[in-house]
Structure 1
Amino acid sequence: MINSNSLINKKEQRFRSLVSLTIVIIYLLILAGGIVRGTGSGMGCPDWPRCFGRWVPPTEISQLPANYQEIYGAKLKGEVLFNPVKTWIEYANRLLGVLSGFLVFATLLASLYYLHIDRIIVWGSLMAFLLIGLNGWLGSRVVATELAQYVITLHLLLAILLVFTLLFVWVRSSSSKWRVESEKTSTLRLLLAIALLLTLAQIVLGAQVRDVLDSVVKRIGYGERDSWISQLDWRFYVHRSFSLAIFAFHISIIYQLRKLNKRGQLVKLTNILIGFIVAEIGTGVIMAYLGVPAFAQPIHLVLAILIIGLQFSISLLLTPKLIATGSVNQATRLIKA
């Protein structure tokens, strides 16, 4: 019996570790996407899935045909000369996308262990696999449409949905490790649902601000970086002010959590959430007052996805009906063993 239970625990631990690694890589992929956007490398590879017609991108202009500007000029977004840095930034983003695809597929295969234990975990893993395939295709449309804003925003939203799906699988497969002592969580769940929707709206608005910023950069150039912010429209000011409202809203959430459990795991998660929000506001201030430095933009994006991911995870932990089945089945298996 001991050996049987130990084998079960090892298989489940390996699955959770694989899902955790996959989530980390997805976040790195989002970070890479932010770097691509922040450095203007979106068309660093003007074709897809190859890059300048090659599986391994060129590192110098001599590796390109003499008339490469004529071939790819319409898609190079004003780049007069070949820029290997932008090309490899975009290509590294693609490689991370391929790696994440393999990991999500591995997660799906590993989830088959739960086929007769908790099929929802298998369905969740299958959903993640379908989502990353769809988002990979959408990435090709980003190139094909030459960075159309609506495609980029949809690409980001699908990435968030993928993160949600993987977080659900991870939380459900490890639900026995989490405990919520009080059942009086309806108000808190409502607050978290509102916070999640507000944060999602803030992310979409931020994507629109980024699009306006791209237009400003295209019009006045990189040499006028200090004047970029003053050229933005009302969406930037709404986006900036809205962050303070979201921060205040989360203070009320942590107050409600402390009423439920003053020292529980959920309170620790919410404290981390507040820390991320403070850091998110900090990177926003850096961009607004220090000429939108390129390093701050991807960090700002990843923090936003970390925030919404934590909100979603806490909401799951406060909704036992969504995650309890895995724990019940696990207990049943141990009893039968």
Structure 2
Amino acid sequence: MAKLFRRFGILTIITVIVLIFVGGIVRATGSGMGCPDWPKCFGMWVPPTHVDQLPQNYQQVFGAKLKGEVVFNAVKTWIEYVNRLLGVLTGFFIFLTFIFSFIAYRFSQPKIVILSFVSFLLVAFEGWLGSKVVSSELHPVLITVHMLVSLLLLGILIMVILKSYQIQFNRKKPEKLSAISFLLIISLILSIGQIIFGTQIREGIDLIQKALGYELRNEWIQSVKGKVVFHAILAFVLLGLQLFIAKNIRKKDATDFVNKWIRFITFSILVSICSGGVLSLLGFPAFVQPIHLGFSVIIVSLQFVVYFLLEPDLI
């Protein structure tokens, strides 16, 4: 059962990362209000594919809160609907992860069970928060909180799975590298800050988009140019810190397993920087935005993994 818990837990972590990636697609395509109500979509459990499937007065019915600005768009509706379905699937996976943890570890490692239950509570809270995001017409603060809760949920799930492997870690435990662990914490905080700051940039883009429209997409960047430059500077600071960490870990003869994850982090930071450059130069193309966000989340996930490998007694 322990092996099943680990495999299913890893699948759950991947699902959460994919959900955040899909959330980025929702944001990039402006599909957040593709379904104007919650939990149903245009009053249906399976949304329509054509406007003819809606009543003629659907704008008045669903647009009361949105000032009558509901315009049915099948693509946006289904992007948001798939996002919701994936959210439900993630919740189901996390619930099963908790059940498997209870069966496998309720006596031997109760902390795993407790943390698995906390993750289940968090995903329920995240679902409720998602409904508030819709009802608030995509309030920027709620969107940011929604992202932070997702990162917290992801971190707890990673911690739970790594905790279940702790016996293996202790068999070949690398030298404790307190100074490097501290730098990893700084790097992790910086990465999370970058995600939050990126969210703020996106909110600025949303505001200017309403003012200028999609036709002047290339001019959006000018409205947030200062923030974008600062965001880019922090990205290179993060890269430099990561290269310094990688160099010092190699000097300390850490295990190949740790060095492998370090290389993955460095690669992900480089991809994130490149995708950010494309966003700046090409006027925030929608297809690049979820890639940029997705790799940012992967960076945070891998940083947490490396930190736990260096500090297996964390929990």
- TM-score greater than 0.5 by the shorter chain: yes
1:146 matches 2:137: yes
Which residue in the other structure is 1:232 paired with?
Answer: 224
Structure 1 residues 196-211: aligned runs within 5 Å: 196-211=188-203
Which residue in the other structure is 2:49 paired with?
Answer: 59
Alpha-carbon distance between aligned partners in 2 of 1:247 and 1:142, rounded to the nearest angstrom: 33
* Cα displacement (A) at 1:74: 5.0
1:277 matches 2:269: yes
1:157 matches 2:134: no
Residue 123 of structure 2, aligned match among 117, 127, 132: 132
1:104 matches 2:94: yes
Which residue in the other structure is 1:3 paired with?
Answer: none
Matched residues, number: 312
Structure 1 residues 153-302: aligned runs within 5 Å: 153-178=144-169, 179-183=172-176, 185-261=177-253, 264-302=256-294
Residue 291 of structure 2 aligns to which amino acid in structure 1?
I
8 Å CA contact 1:124, 1:165 repeated in 2: yes
* Structure of greater Rg: 1
Q: For residues 270 and 75 of structure 1, do their structure 2 counterparts lie closer, same or farther at Cα, with a shift above 3 Å needed?
A: farther
8 Å CA contact 1:115, 1:122 repeated in 2: yes
Q: For residues 278 and 75 of structure 1, do their structure 2 counterparts lie closer, same or farther at Cα, with a shift above 3 Å needed?
A: farther
8 Å CA contact 1:316, 1:322 repeated in 2: yes
8 Å CA contact 1:261, 1:267 repeated in 2: no
8 Å CA contact 1:206, 1:239 repeated in 2: yes
8 Å CA contact 1:269, 1:310 repeated in 2: yes
Residue 104 of structure 1 aligns to which amino acid in structure 2?
I
Report the aligned-residue RMSD: 1.5
* Cα displacement (A) at 1:201: 1.1
8 Å CA contact 2:221, 2:283 repeated in 1: yes
Deviates more, 1:223-232 or 1:249-258: 223-232
Alpha-carbon distance between aligned partners in 1 of 2:285 and 2:218, rounded to the nearest angstrom: 10
8 Å CA contact 1:46, 1:75 repeated in 2: no
Residue 314 of structure 1 aligns to which amino acid in structure 2?
V
Alpha-carbon distance between aligned partners in 2 of 1:189 and 1:300, rounded to the nearest angstrom: 26
Alpha-carbon distance between aligned partners in 2 of 1:78 and 1:265, rounded to the nearest angstrom: 56
* Cα displacement (A) at 1:191: 0.2
* Cα displacement (A) at 1:320: 2.4
* Cα displacement (A) at 1:308: 0.7
Q: Give the TM-score taking structure 2 as reference length.
A: 0.95
Alpha-carbon distance between aligned partners in 1 of 2:223 and 2:81, rounded to the nearest angstrom: 31
Q: Give the TM-score taking structure 1 as reference length.
A: 0.89
Deviates more, 1:313-322 or 1:171-180: 171-180
Alpha-carbon distance between aligned partners in 1 of 2:197 and 2:19, rounded to the nearest angstrom: 21
Residue 180 of structure 1 aligns to which amino acid in structure 2?
K
* Cα displacement (A) at 1:236: 2.0
Residue identity over aligned pairs, in percent, reads 44
* Cα displacement (A) at 1:318: 1.1
Structure 1 unaligned residues grouped into runs of 5+? 1-10, 324-337
Structure 1 residues 294-333: aligned runs within 5 Å: 294-322=286-314
Structure 2 unaligned residues grouped into runs of 5+? none
Residue 27 of structure 1 aligns to which amino acid in structure 2?
I
Residue 84 of structure 2, aligned match among 69, 75, 94: 94
**Post-superposition CA distance 1:32-71 (Å, at most 9, x none):** 1000000000000000000011111011111111111112
Alpha-carbon distance between aligned partners in 2 of 1:161 and 1:198, rounded to the nearest angstrom: 15
Deviates more, 1:281-290 or 1:224-233: 224-233
8 Å CA contact 1:47, 1:143 repeated in 2: yes
**Post-superposition CA distance 1:279-320 (Å, at most 9, x none):** 000110111111211111011111111101111111111112
Residue 181 of structure 1 aligns to which amino acid in structure 2?
P
* Cα displacement (A) at 1:181: 2.7
**Post-superposition CA distance 1:254-289 (Å, at most 9, x none):** 011111226521111000100000000011011111
8 Å CA contact 1:43, 1:75 repeated in 2: no
